[in-house]
Amino acid sequence: MNMASHLGSALYLTLPLVIGGSLHMAAVRADVLSVLTKPIHDRAFGANKTWRGAIVMPLATVLGVALAAALAPFLGTWLLVRVPLEAALPLGTLLGLAYIIAELPNSFLKRRLGILPGRAPDRHRQWFVLADQTDSVLGCVLVYGLWLRPPALTLLLCVLLGPAVHLGANVLLYTLRLRREAV
């Protein structure tokens, strides 16, 4: 197993999450399921953590997992882990839920500190931005580790590369006007 295989596999594992997050942002922008835009708990997590996200993100990530499974045969033998198509529904659902649930402690802390939803404070801004990009990655890496059992180095690369991929996807979604803030 060479480093390129670990790196490629880590990037491959981010694909369902990028797709799920992008579809979620498109649903928010198009105001799909607006009846579900109620906060999960406004005081605890803020207005941006809604029931729509808790439902749309897992469903959208199912599509992301299905696409990753469909792409796997075309990516050659260098992938160390492949997402099986038959796992699209359960794995996509778990990844989407892990993504959402892993964001909640960070949101809770920010509300306790008086930071507005979707914002980062001026003081120590870089740490809050890093936490915003990392929390969901950690939740999803936990699911991947338990479900697919990829090599430890692949999971470590997911943790290290995931926040950069997340940030890049956010900037792209902002450019496409699917997000209100780039970071």
DSSP string, 79-132: -S----GGGHHHHHHHHHHHHHHHHHHHHHHHHHTTPPTT---STTHHHHHHHH
Contact 90, 59 (CB under 8 A): no
For the chain, first and last CA: distance in Å?
Answer: 35
The pLDDT profile of the chain, 183 residues, written as one tens digit per residue, is 699 999 999 999 999 999 999 999 999 999 999 999 999 999 999 999 999 999 999 999 999 999 999 999 998 888 999 999 999 999 999 999 999 999 999 999 999 989 888 777 888 888 888 888 899 999 999 999 999 999 999 999 999 998 888 888 878 877 888 777 767
d(CA 90, CA 112): 34
pLDDT value, residue 118: 76
Contact 62, 88 (CB under 8 A): yes
pLDDT value, residue 91: 98
pLDDT value, residue 182: 65
Which residues are paired to 39 by β-bridges? 50
Contact 15, 71 (CB under 8 A): yes
In the block, tokens 């996509």 appear at 92
Which residues are paired to 50 by β-bridges? 39
